[in-house]
C-alpha cells in the first residue's frame, strides 16, 4: 500500500519536473550554435547573447499552455495531499485525476501548436532540429495522462 502511494507520488513529481524543465530550458529549436525556445533566442558563437523571442500571438499561446500545464499539475499534487486525508474510505481521487489530465492536455496542445506554427517566428533552415526540451514536453504528455487516469481509477484504502 505504501509502495503504491510512493510510486504514484514519484510519477507525479516526475511529470512536474519534466514540465518545469521543458518550459524553462532554452532548447526547443536547435540550429547550429543558436537555440530558440519559448522565452528567448540564444546564440553561442563568438559572442554569446540572448534576445527575447518575438511577440507573436501563437508563441504567446504556447507559453500560456505550458504555464497552465504547470499550474494544473501543481494544483493536482496539492489536491492529492488534501484528498488523501479528507476522502472517505473507498472514494476516488476524481478532482486530482481531472487536474492532472488537464495538465497533460495543455502540454499536448502547447507542443502541437509549437510544432505547427514555429515557422511564423523562427525562419527554419536546413539544419534546424528540435531540442531536448521539446522532446521532454512530448514525453510529459503521456506520463501526465497516465498519472491522471491512475488517480481516477485508484480507490482510497486503509
Partner 1 sequence: MSQGAGDSRSLLVLAGLLAVLGLAPTSAIHVYTPREVYGTVGSHVTLSCSFWSSEWISEDISITWHFQAEGSRDSISIFHYAKGQPYIDDVGTFKERMEWAGNPRRKDGSIVIHNLDYTDNGTFTCDVKNPPDIVGKSSQVTLYVLEKVPTRYGVVLGSIIGGALLLVLLVVALVYLVRYCWLRRQAVLQRRLSAMEKGKLQRSAKDASKRGRQVSTPRREGGVKRGAGI
Binding site for partner 1 (CB under 8 A): 55, 57, 60-61, 63-65, 67-68, 71-72, 95, 99, 102, 106
Closest CB to partner 1 among 98 and 135? 98
| 135: helix, strand or coil | helix
The least distance separating partner 1 from the CB of residue 69, rounded to whole angstroms, comes to 10
- Using CA atoms, how far apart are residues 155 and 158, in angstroms rounded to an integer? 10
* Grid cell in block for residue 84: 488523501
Q: Catalogue the E-assigned strands of 72-149.
A: 128-130
The least distance separating partner 1 from the CB of residue 89, rounded to whole angstroms, comes to 18
Structural contact between residues 12 and 79, judged by C-beta atoms closer than 8 angstroms:
no
Per-residue b or e along 65-90, where b marks 16 or more CB atoms closer than 10 Å to that residue's CB = bbebbbebbebbbebbeebeeebeee
Closest CB to partner 1 among 18 and 65? 65
The least distance separating partner 1 from the CB of residue 53, rounded to whole angstroms, comes to 10
The least distance separating partner 1 from the CB of residue 24, rounded to whole angstroms, comes to 16
Distances (CA, A) of 37 to 9, 22, 92: 29, 10, 39
Closest CB to partner 1 among 57 and 120? 57
The least distance separating partner 1 from the CB of residue 30, rounded to whole angstroms, comes to 24
| 127: helix, strand or coil | coil
Closest CB to partner 1 among 5 and 112? 112
Closest CB to partner 1 among 18 and 102? 102
Amino acid at each position: 500500500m505504501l509502495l503504491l502511494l510512493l510510486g504514484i507520488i514519484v510519477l507525479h513529481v516526475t511529470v512536474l519536473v519534466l514540465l518545469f524543465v521543458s518550459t524553462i530550458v532554452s532548447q526547443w529549436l536547435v540550429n547550429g550554435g543558436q537555440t530558440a525556445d519559448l522565452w528567448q533566442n540564444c546564440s553561442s558563437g563568438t559572442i554569446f547573447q540572448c534576445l527575447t523571442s518575438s511577440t507573436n500571438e501563437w508563441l504567446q499561446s504556447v507559453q500560456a499552455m505550458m504555464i497552465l500545464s504547470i499550474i494544473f499539475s501543481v494544483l493536482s499534487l496539492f489536491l492529492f495531499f488534501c484528498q488523501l486525508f479528507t476522502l472517505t474510505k473507498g472514494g476516488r481521487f476524481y478532482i486530482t485525476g481531472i487536474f492532472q489530465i488537464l495538465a497533460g492536455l495543455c502540454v499536448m496542445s502547447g507542443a502541437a501548436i509549437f510544432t505547427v506554427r514555429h515557422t511564423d517566428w523562427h525562419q527554419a533552415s536546413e539544419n534546424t532540429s528540435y531540442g531536448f526540451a521539446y522532446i521532454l514536453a512530448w514525453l510529459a504528455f503521456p506520463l501526465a495522462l497516465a498519472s491522471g487516469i491512475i488517480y481516477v481509477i485508484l480507490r482510497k484504502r486503509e
